[in-house]
Amino acid sequence: MDFWYGLSKGLLRAYKTLCVKGYEVHGLENLISGPKIIVANHPNATDSFFLPFIIPEKLHFFIEESIFQFPFFGTLLKLSDQIPVGFNTGREALDQALKKLSQGNVVVIFPEGLLNHGSSIQRGRIGAAMLALESGVPIIPVGFFVPTQFTRMIEQKRNGRVKTGLWQIGGRCYIQIGEPWMIDSMIRWERKYRLLREITDEMMARIQKLVWKAERSAI
């Protein structure tokens, strides 16, 4: 594991140690080795912080482009080889992800694109489906759940605009990992958008079921 990714994990470990009681994972047997695409719901800004401690391979996250502008943290994201994605850079981000997967690495995508702040899962974007079809690697869906009493809304300024996000403070994060899902590479590409939309909707349905399982395990 490289130095900058290790440093990033060290910072996340500090958050995990100081700010939460831990996490509970179900479905670890579904984490097959080799290149894969992790897709998950996105309720809180901090849920993804647990993944580097669950998945042994180096992770390459799709991260909002503006976050790379943060002092120090943005530089660390670049040096640890994370993938910036913006309104006009989706294809470039997919190409970077394809390269990572071809090298045997793991890519993490939150198909909703934005935080849902613990509300209903939003309609997924088609990038993860496109990446799965073009790469031929399996998708592994993940559901996150944190009880609302352990989340706090925090404001951040990005490019002169105030953005809000829930952060977990206290309690446990409950994580449910689903079965690997291989998209049939022989699927015909006529009506390309319709195909990607159908795959994405099925993917989000699988994630939603995992969120419900994670929520039940918190009871």
Residue 125 has pLDDT above 80, yes or no: yes
Sequence ranges of the domains in the chain: 3-217
Residue 112: pLDDT band (50, 70, 90) is very high
Would you state the pLDDT for residue 160? 65
Would you state the pLDDT for residue 164? 84
Would you state the pLDDT for residue 191? 61
Residue 52: pLDDT band (50, 70, 90) is very high
Would you state the pLDDT for residue 183? 86
- The model carries a pTM of 0.93
Instruction: Give the list of residues 6+ apart from residue 72 with CB closer than 8 angstroms, or none.
Output: none
Q: How far apart are CA 160 and CA 182, in angstroms?
A: 42
Q: How far apart are CA 197 and CA 115, in angstroms?
A: 20
What single-letter DSSP state applies at residue 124? P
3-class DSSP assignment, residue 161: strand
Residue 179: pLDDT band (50, 70, 90) is very high
Would you state the pLDDT for residue 12? 95
In the chain, at which residue ranges do the beta strands (DSSP E only) sit?
22-26, 36-40, 59-64, 83-85, 106-109, 139-145, 151-158, 161-168, 172-177
Instruction: Please give the torsion angle defined by the CA atoms of residues 171, 59, 38 and 10, in that order, rounded to the nearest 10 degrees.
Output: 0
Q: How far apart are CA 58 and CA 52, in angstroms?
A: 7
Of 68-72, 106-110, 160-164, 202-206, which range is least confident?
160-164
Share of the chain above pLDDT 90, in %: 75
Q: What is the mean pLDDT of residues 122-134?
A: 93
Q: Which two tokens stand for residue 111?
A: 């198909």
Order of all β-strands in the sheet with 59-64: 22-26, 172-177, 139-145, 36-40, 106-109, 59-64, 83-85
Q: How far apart are CA 60 and CA 83, in angstroms?
A: 6
pLDDT digits (tens, 9 = 90+) for 55-100: 999 999 999 998 888 888 899 999 999 999 988 888 999 999 999 9
Q: What is the mean pLDDT of residues 194-215?
A: 94
pLDDT digits (tens, 9 = 90+) for 138-152: 999 999 999 999 999
Q: How far apart are CA 124 and CA 95, in angstroms?
A: 20
Fold (CATH) for 3-217: Glycerol-3-phosphate (1)-acyltransferase (3.40.1130)
pLDDT digits (tens, 9 = 90+) for 183-196: 876 565 556 888 89
Would you state the pLDDT for residue 210? 98
Residue 156: pLDDT band (50, 70, 90) is confident
Query: How does strand 106-109 pair with strand 36-40?
Result: parallel
Q: What is the mean pLDDT of residues 179-208?
A: 84
CA proximity to 75, closest of 84, 88, 85: 84
